[in-house]
Amino acid sequence: MKLIFNWRAVLTRAASVWFILAGLLALIGFFFATLSPDMTRWSPVYFAVASAVFQTLAIPARIVFQAGLADLREFRRSQAGAMRNRSLGIIAGSGIALSTALAFIGGWEGLRQEAYRDVVGVWTVCYGKTQQVAPGDRYSKAECDQLLAAEILAYEAALDQCLKVTVPLGMKIALVSWTYNVGARAACQSTLLRLANAGDLEGACNELPRWNRAGGKVWRGLTRRRFSEMEMCHAALKDAR
């Protein structure tokens, strides 16, 4: 095999090369956003520096990556990646959005690294994980964070099956938090989703405080959580105007 005479110019100027490099940088930025130092066994200082560098590089990389799909004006006109196509949820598609969802939902769920019974007697561990949990189960914080991230993406995908309208990021996080708490089936059969799909997003936000019961009893913690979700929901709508 013989290289072409101007291979250096081709390598440094070819759009496809920069497109691939930008895509890798964007993926590495997302990689650092979903991990913790414990999971990589790196020094927290080195991990923080590497994460900051790649998160910063990921911003222009995404622009180059998107521009590489086609001419920039054509890319802006394209609807191929629109959220309504459900190819990828808005939280799943952004490391920053996932980090925000992790902080919000994890803060309300609370971290318990050893299995315990919740208020209605269900064995629970980490950030409210209830499936396949047995007495004596114990997880590290890194394992709990990883489980929560995976469940957030799974609940977002389940919610997207019945949420047929595009909503702002803050509202989406609030609705995923609510769905994580009440279950996808209950969420999809709710008046809240019916209002959202009918275009009444404010009305949908106002439905959240109604979901403050567990085992037929009103709980103060659930009441506070629902109001916090409602505030995030309305704030997102206000910012989107």
Catalytic residues: 109, 118
DSSP string, 124-172: EEETTB-TT--TT-B--HHHHHHHHHHHHHHHHHHHHTT--S---HHHH
Contact 206, 181 (CB under 8 A): no
In angstroms, the CA 19 to CA 78 distance is 18
Angle (CA) 16-17-21 rounded to 5° is: 115
**Total residues belonging to the chain:** 241
Tokens found for residue 129: 């994980």
Would strands 112-117 and 213-214 be described as parallel, antiparallel, or unpaired? Answer: unpaired
Coil, helix or strand for 52? helix
